Structures are given as structure tokens and as C-alpha cells.
A and B are shown apart, each in its own frame.
Chain A
């Protein structure tokens, strides 16, 4: 059982459409991170959210941390083919130092 559950597992959309990826847990996290990984490469850190209810924007990407710090979402507006990749959420529960990763959401944006 994954500590962090991501949904959906796969997402395929047309260029210009919007998409949302979810990351949920029953545990409380001191912070959550989102990474993007392209095939054959290492994950790249996109953002860290720390405060419950926090919203961070990175160009067309919007990240939100749930009020109870148990969940997070990533919203991409007007997706482009360059957004294609595996999106991973990761976090350390407040009672554990180790970083746990979700299974990831594979996003494919078709031109």
C-alpha cells in the first residue's frame, strides 16, 4: 500500500486542454513536493508546498496543498506537448523523516 496515492495513473489529453493530478494520503505531511520525470532521466523538483491551503504557481502549473496537509493537487492550464512526463508527488509524514513517493501519473499531451 502506497503512503501517497496518485490519480489518475494515466492521462492523455490534447494540446490546449487543462488537466489535474491528485495526490492523497491519510497521513499528515510537513511538506509535499512535486517532481516531473522524463523517460530515462531522474525526477526534477518542480515545487514544495509547506503550509496547509497554500497555492503556488509556476507558469501554467498550479499546485495546491490541502488545508489538513494530507493531500495536494497539480493543475496544468493549456497543456503543451512539453508537459508530457511522469508526475510524482512526494512527502515525509510528520512522524517519519523518510521521503515517500507516490506511484506517479503519466501525462501525455498530444499535439
Chain B
């Protein structure tokens, strides 16, 4: 158990819909990262938040957005869903000092868009 929690575990929805994925980082970690993993693209970095502020952006679509709240949990919002958005979505958190690039991953949310 990494200490990172994600809900829900599974999500099935239809094209055009909007969903919200939730992540709680490890106790004391200020950074939260979101990744998308699909069979053909591998693990792709989407976005990072640090203590409530956006820190880095990767290959995140405009239809996707995220935020980190004062209690440090984070939400990833996916809208106007398409079939190709079906994937595993992982959240990770990292220590605030020392080896800040070491990331601890949650169990993931499997999104299926029908």
C-alpha cells in the first residue's frame, strides 16, 4: 500500500459525458501528479500540482482539467468524453524534500467510455 488513494476504482460512462476522478496523496506529500495509461501510449504524464498550484503540464487535453484543494487532495475532471479516453488514470504523490522525483502511485481508476 503506497498510501495514495484513488476513487472510484472503476468508472463506466458514455461518450459526451463528464467524470471526476479523485486522489488523496500520502500524508505530508504536497505534490500530486496525474497520469494516463493506455495500451498503445504507455504511461503519459498529464499534469502536476504542488501545494494547490499547477506546477507542470504534460500531454493534457483541453477537455481535461485538474485542481488541488487546500487539504491537498486532487481531482481530475474529464469532459466531452470520447472512446479514446478509455484508459487507466493514475495519481501519484512525491515527498516535499530530498528525492522529490520519487513518486508513489495510487491503485488507479479504470475508465471505460462506451
Contact = CB atoms under 8 A, between A and B. Distances in A.
B99 to A, nearest CB: 6
Interface residues of B, number: 23
Contact of B99 (A31, A35, A97): A31
Given A40-B110, A42-B2, A42-B108, A48 B43 contact: no
A43 B43 contact: yes
Interface stretch (A15-23, A58-66, A70-78, A98-106): A98-106
A9 to B, nearest CB: 11
Interface in A62-111: 88, 90-92, 97-104
A31 B105 CA distance: 18
B43 A41 contact: no
A81 B78 CA distance: 38
B108 A48 contact: no
B48 interface: yes
Interface residues of A, number: 25
Contact of B90 (A30, A42, A50, A92): A42
Interface of B: 2, 4, 33, 42-43, 45, 48, 55-56, 58, 88, 90, 92, 99, 101-108, 110
Interface of A: 2, 30-31, 33, 35, 40-45, 48, 50, 88, 90-92, 97-104
The 3 A-B residue pairs with the shortest CB-CB distance, nearest first, are A42-B105, A101-B43, A103-B42
24 contacts: A31-B101, A33-B101, A33-B102, A33-B103, A41-B108, A42-B4, A42-B90, A42-B92, A42-B108, A44-B105, A45-B103, A45-B104, A48-B99, A50-B99, A92-B101, A97-B56, A99-B33, A99-B45, A99-B103, A100-B45, A101-B42, A101-B45, A103-B42, A104-B43
